[in-house]
Amino acid sequence: MSVLLIVAVAIVWLFLGGRFYAPVIARVLGERTDRPTPAVRINDGRDYVPTQTPVVFAHHFASIAGAGPIIGPVLAIYFGWGPALLWILLGGVFLGGVHDFASTHIAVREGGKNLAVIARRYIGASAFVMMLVMLIALLVLVCAAFLDLSATALTSRVSVETLQLSAGQSLFRVEDGQAIIGGIASTSVIVITAFSPLLGFLYLKRRWPVWVCSLLAILICAVSIAIGLRFPVSVQPETWKGMISVYVLISAGLPVWLFLQSRDFINVHILYVGMAFLVVALIGAGVRGGGQFTTEAAGIPLTNWTQASALLGPGWPVLFVMIACGAVSGFHSLCAGGTTCKQLQTEVAARHVGYYAMLLESFLALCVVLCLIVGLSLADYKLYCYPDAAQGNAVLTFAMAVGHTANVGLGLPIAAGALGAMLLLEGFLVTTLDTAIRLTRYMIEEGWATFFGRYDVFADEAARQQREAAATVTGSRGALELAGAGGLSIERPDLDVGVPGRVGQTRGLGRAGLKLLKHYWVNSGIAVGLMLLLGWGNGYVVVWQIFGSANQLLGALALVVATSWLFSKQRPVWYTLLPAVFMLVTSVWMLIRLLIWDYLQDWANKAPLAITAIIVLAMTAGVVGLAVQRWVRRGVAGVTAAGGALP
C-alpha cells in the first residue's frame, strides 16, 4: 500500500467531516451569529480578551495538541498501523471533533465557565465538587507528564553514529560522542518566549493585521533556530524542570495576551511548518518509492495485536487510551472552557476553532503514524520505544522516524529531520504546559469562590458568578433571553451564595488567609507546586497510562455534561451520548485494569497512583449517577421525542 493513497484518503475524510458533520453539530447546539460572547461582554483585558479567530485557533491548537498526538501514536503503533489509523480517523470526526466543538460552544454560552461550573448548573452542586476534584487531578497529571517530556526533549542527546553524522559535521555540538540535539530547541524556546510580549502588543494593542504578525512570527522562529544552532543550551533535565516551572508560574499570573496567547501564536508557526514538512517528506517518500509498506516482519505490520497485547495489555482498551489526543481527549475540554472560550468573538468561531483544530490534530497523529511505518523497521522501533519491559524513549523514537522519513523522501540527512522533529515536539510541549498551569489556576479559583462564597472576602466574586449565570442579554430581535439558554427556560443555578443577609463577616488571620487564597499569584503557585510534587521524581512513562485513562474518562464526562446541556434545551442527544457511553466503558475498564493488576500489586511504589485511580473512579461514578438521575427527572423519552425539531 502507498503512503500517498493513505494521505489522500485521510485528507478527503477529514475534509468531509468538517464540511458536512460539523454543521450538523452546530445545528444541534443552536449556533447563532448574533449572540455576544463572554469575551465581548466582559473584556477585562486579562482573561477575557476578544481576539481574531486565527490567533485564537493558533493558541487553541498549540495548547490541545501537546505531546498527545505524537507520543500516543508512537507508543500505540506496536498494535499495528491499521488499528491506529482507523481509531484516529473515526475518532477525530465522530468523537473528538464533537467533544471539542460542544465543549467550546457550551462554555461560550455559559459565560466562559469551565466544565465543573457547567456541571453544577445542569447536573447539580455535588457534581461540581466531584468534577472540580477530577479536573485538578487530571491537570496535575498532564503537567507532571509534560514537564518530564519537555525536559527530556530539551536535553536529549543522540549518538553521532545513530544520526550518521560525519566527523567534521557542524550541525550539532558534540560532547562525549553525543550530539546535543535538544539544546537547539532549548535556545529556540527561550528566544520565542522573550519576543512574545512584543508580538502580543502589536496584534492586540496596535491592531496589526494577522498576516503581518504571522510574517514577523516566522522571522522570530527562524532567528530562534539560527541562534539555537550557534548557541545550544545544555543543562541537566532537573535544571530545565526548574526553569520551566518558574516561567509557567509567572506566565499563569499575567494577562493572557502577554505570554500565553502571543507565545502560542509565534510557536504555532513552527508547528504549521513542521506539519507541512512531515507531509512533504511523506509525499516525497511515496513518489520516490519509499512510501510502499507491507505486512512483512521487517516493517511495522498492519496488525500486531497479539504481540503488543502480551507486552502492553489488551488492544481494547489500551490502544484507545494511548492514542488520546489524536482521536478524542478530555484535556481539550479544559482548554475550551478555560482560555479559548474567553477569547472568541463570535459563536461561529467556536466551530472553526473547536472542531477544525481537532481535525488538524487528527491529521498530525496520522502523519506521525505514517512516519513511523515509512521511517522505521519493527526491530528499530522496538529498540527505541520498547527496549526493556515497556520502558523506552518515545521522544527519540519519533525523532528518528522523522529523520529517516525525511532522508527517504527528501534526501535530507537523518540528523536534519530528527532536529525538525525535536523542534516540532518541543513547541507542542511547552505551549501545553503554559496553558495547563493557567487552567489549573482557574480551577483552584473556581473552587475557592464556591467553597468560601458565603464569606465577605469572596461574596462579591460569588455574586458576580451568580449574576452571570442568570444574566439576560438582548438579542438582535429584541427579545430578552437567559444567558446560554437560546431563549429556552433553564433551571436556576444551584448557587445560593452572595445573597444579601447571608454573608459571613471575617477578620484577623481568617480574613487574611481568605484574601491570600483569592490572589491569582498564590493560586498559580499552588498549581506549579502540585505539578512539581508529582512530576519532579517521576518520568512520563510512570504516569502516562493513568494520565491517558483519566484524560479519556474526562472526555467521556465532558460528553455527559454536554448531553445534560442538550437535554435541558430539548435537543437531540445521540451525537454526544453515544460517544460518551463508548468512552466511559473504555476508560473505566482501563482504570480498573491498572488499579487491580498493576497499582495494587505494587502498593509500596505505586500507592499515589492507586489512590488517584480510586478517586477518579469514585468521582466518575458520582457524576454519571447524578446526571442519569437528572435525565430521568426531565423525562428521557419526552426529550428524545421532542428532539427532532430544532429551533
Give 173-182's long-range contacts (Cβ < 8 A, gap of 24+): 173/232, 173/234, 175/234, 179/415, 180/232, 180/234, 181/156, 181/157, 181/399, 181/415, 181/418, 181/419, 181/422, 182/152, 182/153, 182/154, 182/155, 182/156, 182/157, 182/422, 182/426
3-state secondary structure of 110: coil
Q: Which strand (E) or helix (H) includes residue 399? A: helix 394-410
Q: Which residue has the cell 484524560?
A: 551
pLDDT of residue 314: 93
Query: Which of these, 560, 575, 556, 104, lies nearest to 357 by C-alpha position?
Result: 104
**Residue range 427-484, pLDDT digits in tens:** 667 777 877 888 788 778 877 877 787 777 777 655 555 555 454 333 333 332 322 2
The pLDDT, as a whole number, for residue 501 is 46
C-alpha cell at 513: 488567609
Range 3-445+521-642 has CATH code 1.20.1740.10: yes
Neighbours of 168 (CB within 10 A): 5
Cell numbers for 67, please give them.
505531546
Map grid coordinates 536535553 to a residue. 155
Beta bridge mates, 601: none
What SS3 class is residue 313? Answer: coil
Q: Write the DSSP string, 442-456.
A: HHHHHHHHHHTTTBH
pLDDT at 191: 92
Q: What are phi and psi of 367, to 5 degrees?
A: -65, -35
The whole-number pLDDT of residue 170 equals: 64
Give 589's contacts (C-beta < 8 A, 6+ positions apart): 317
According to the model, what pLDDT value does residue 644 have? Answer: 45
Nearest-angstrom CA–CA distance, 561 and 45: 29
Cβ 372 vs Cβ 401: under 8 Å: yes
Count, residues in the chain: 647
Distances (CA, A) of 12 to 69, 363, 560: 20, 11, 30
Q: Give the DSSP per-residue string, 336-390.
A: HHHTGGGT-SSSHHHHHHHHHHHHHHHHHHHHHHHHHHHH-BHHHHHHHH-SBTT
pLDDT of 421 reads 86
Q: Burial of 44 by CB count in 10 Å (0-12 exposed, 13-18 middle, 19+ buried)?
A: exposed
Tell me how far apart the alpha carbons of residues 83 and 427 are, in angstroms, rounded to a whole number. 28
DSSP letters for 506-526: --HHHHHHHHHHH-HHHHHHH
Q: Where are the beta strands (DSSP E) in 584-638?
A: none
C-alpha distances (whole Å) from 262 to each of 56, 62, 65, 256, 258 are 10, 11, 17, 8, 6
Kindly report, residue by residue over 236-267, the tens digit of the pLDDT. Answer: 777 878 888 888 888 887 887 788 778 878 88
Q: What does the DSSP 8-state code read for residue 160?
A: T
- The CB-based long-range contact list for 161-169 (8 Å cut-off, 24+ gap) reads 162/400, 163/403, 163/413, 163/414, 163/415, 163/418, 164/413, 164/414, 164/415, 165/413, 165/415, 169/415
Phi, psi (rounded to 5 degrees) for 504: -85, 135
Distance CA 151, CA 232 (A): 14
Concatenated DSSP letters for 2-47? BHHHHHHHHHHHHHHIIIIIHHHHHHHHT--SSSPPHHHHH--SSS
Helix (H, G, I), strand (E, B) or coil at 159: strand
Residues of the chain scoring pLDDT < 70: 1, 66, 167-171, 290-298, 388-392, 427-428, 460-503, 534-544, 635-647
So what's the pLDDT on residue 615? 86
Grid cell for residue 22? 460539523
Decide: residue 296, CB within 10 A, 0-12 exposed, 13-18 middle, 19+ buried.
Answer: exposed
615 exposed, middle or buried (CB, 10 Å; 0-12, 13-18, 19+)? middle
Give the integer Cα–Cα distance in Å for 417 and 603: 42
The domains of the chain are located at 3-445+521-642
Alpha helix positions (H), 80-124: 81-91, 97-109, 115-122
Question: What's at 236, amino acid-wise?
Answer: Q
- 88-118, pLDDT tens digit by residue? 999 999 999 999 999 999 999 998 888 888 8
Using alpha carbons only, give the angle 499, 502, 504 rounded to the nearest 5 degrees: 120
